[in-house]
Structure 1
Amino acid sequence: MTKQYKPWRLTWEIDSALIDSVKKFYSKHENNTFVKIRKKRNIEKQDLNLTKEFLWQTLIICLLTSQQKSGPNSRVSLFCGTKPFPLSLNFCVENLDILEIEAQKVLQNFGGLRRSTIIAEHLKENLQTLIGNNWEILSHIDTESTLKTEKEIELFLVQNIQKQIKGFGPKQSRNFLQILGLTKYEIPLDSRISDWLNKFNFPIKLNAAGLSDPYFYQFISEGIQNLCEKAEIYPCLLDAAIFSSYDKDEWTEENSIF
């Protein structure tokens, strides 16, 4: 007879000292402008913009920030804050046949932006997909009410966005939804968050290689959600506090793109 083994089951146990440290850190930064903006949008759901134009701009922001600094005075932030937006949906649709070439020109001419070639390729592929499926991404957002809990809704959206958008991994699919104001629990785990968690003695040491795996990423995400639940802080607000703390609260209503 073959011996039956019970499946592995891992559970998070968060030390009370870590919880207290997180509470103190958040209390120090909760009045930062960046945190207030995040609370207004993601928690209070004020002024959400789910138009095709803003979804497209958000997609571009996420591709640009994938492997590049994105502080308030960075080239990425300056580009994304340019008005009118250089790669508007209208411009990209009108130039769809040659978008790979035109987008690369726009990015290179602006200067200081990395990965312009691959981003331009992704933009053309993604716009073709969005037009081809009649912006199915919007229907996924609309069907969220059929799920039971906010966490289930968010994970459903993350998984579907990641499948649809070329160039999106676990981090940028969450970054996309967070900028849109659709997430409270699922957050993008970038180098800042990893560095901060490691300094705060998070039980598992984090690095970029490990977080590229969606299953490991989700495991760590659950740990952060557990920590935030015990500290009575929404993960998206802790993310905002950490993010802004690295930029010495230089974000304002005007320059915030996240």
Structure 2
Amino acid sequence: MLANWNIDDHTLALWRRFVAENENKDLPRRRYELNVRRNGIDLSKQNIWRVLVGCQVTTQQRSGPNSGVSRFLKSESPALDIHRCRESKDLADFLETELTGAGLRRAPTIAGNLTEIWKHLEEGEWRVLLSHLETLRSYPTSLKEKAVVAYMLAGKYPGLGQKQSRNFIQWVGLSRYEVPLDSRVLKKMREFGASFVPSGTALTDEVVYCFVQRCVQQVARELDIYPCMLDACIFASFDIADDTKSADDA
């Protein structure tokens, strides 16, 4: 049994006007430069580690501009410094102390996830991860992005589920088609008349996630823009100025 989205001309007109109203805001403009034009992509281990930490701390806690998460990610915390992490005697304790000191929720869980990820990376997964990411730097395709998402979900990156695995490749500037869905996308779909919109918690299921994502991709295709740009316009419409996405942000 297959389910398909049918998008009528009236709905497309609403989306087209919506994009026109938001595409010149800061986030869409920066998304265009990084993810579409490929200007400023940084695949250094330092930047990748910082994004991996960011994906963990933006899960299940608010990450708006005045949040503790936002302040932490803009700070000089040694938890964000790959060299300081490598020098630590007990990485899990080191990370938990830093996260707790920053007032972040789920510090033990996040520290445990990052410690396991670090172990895999240092045991040889850096080469594998960088190889996957390099496939997206030039001539990215939807299939290549799906392959990288599948790799991220295969078990060596605990804490990165359906949304954050996509958030990761978007954050480093490599995705155009796979998008990190959250409550804002669902709200906009309801606003523009989608007859079926699942709950945010249902997006943890891969089938549900991909079904909703296909709607975003279909709308973007009809508007002749990349899905990552439609996603940026949605976030910008909620006055969000960066890519630190949290499932709890409303």
Could you state the TM-score of these two structures normalised by the residue count of structure 1?
A: 0.87
How far the C-alpha of 1:150 sits from its partner, in A, is 0.7
- Aligned-residue sequence identity (percent) comes to 33
Mapped partners of 1:149, 1:108: distance in 2 = 38
Mapped partners of 1:143, 1:83: distance in 2 = 31
CA contact (8 A) 1:61 1:80 kept: yes
Match of 1:109 in 2: 101
Ranked by relative contact order (alpha carbons within 8 Å, sequence separation 6 or more), the top structure is 2
**CA separation of 1:213 and 1:34: change in aligned 2, threshold 3 A:** same
Mapped partners of 1:41, 1:243: distance in 2 = 16
| Letter in structure 2 aligned against 1:157 | V
CA contact (8 A) 1:58 1:176 kept: yes
Mapped partners of 2:125, 2:178: distance in 1 = 26
SS at match of 2:111: helix
Mapped partners of 2:11, 2:60: distance in 1 = 29
Mapped partners of 2:137, 2:40: distance in 1 = 19
Mapped partners of 1:16, 1:69: distance in 2 = 36
Could you state the TM-score of these two structures normalised by the residue count of structure 2?
A: 0.90
Runs of 5+ unmatched residues, structure 1: 1-7
CA contact (8 A) 1:145 1:153 kept: no
How far the C-alpha of 1:133 sits from its partner, in A, is 2.2
CA contact (8 A) 1:198 1:206 kept: no
How far the C-alpha of 1:257 sits from its partner, in A, is 5.3
Which structure has the larger Rg? Answer: 1
Q: Work out which of the residue numbers 42, 50, 59 in structure 1 matches 2:43.
A: 50
How far the C-alpha of 1:11 sits from its partner, in A, is 2.9
Runs of 5+ unmatched residues, structure 2: 245-250
How big is each residue's C-alpha offset from its partner over 1:130-176, in whole Å with a ceiling of 9 and x where there is no partner?
11124121112234589x97110111111111223111100000000
SS at match of 1:133: helix
RMSD between aligned residues: 2.0
CA contact (8 A) 2:32 2:229 kept: yes
Match of 1:90 in 2: 83
SS at match of 2:178: coil
How big is each residue's C-alpha offset from its partner over 1:62-112, in whole Å with a ceiling of 9 and x where there is no partner?
1111111222222111110113654311111112x511111111111122x
| Letter in structure 1 aligned against 2:97 | K
Mapped partners of 1:85, 1:78: distance in 2 = 14
CA contact (8 A) 2:169 2:175 kept: yes
**CA separation of 1:92 and 1:257: change in aligned 2, threshold 3 A:** farther
CA contact (8 A) 1:80 1:257 kept: no
Mapped partners of 2:105, 2:19: distance in 1 = 32
CA contact (8 A) 2:152 2:165 kept: yes
How far the C-alpha of 1:10 sits from its partner, in A, is 3.1
The more displaced of 38-47 and 229-238 is 229-238
Mapped partners of 2:46, 2:195: distance in 1 = 41
Q: Work out which of the residue numbers 194, 212, 215 in structure 2 matches 1:202.
A: 194
Match of 2:230 in 1: 238
Q: Is residue 161 of structure 2 the alignment partner of residue 169 of structure 1?
A: yes
How far the C-alpha of 1:12 sits from its partner, in A, is 2.5
CA contact (8 A) 2:49 2:80 kept: no
Mapped partners of 1:214, 1:26: distance in 2 = 27
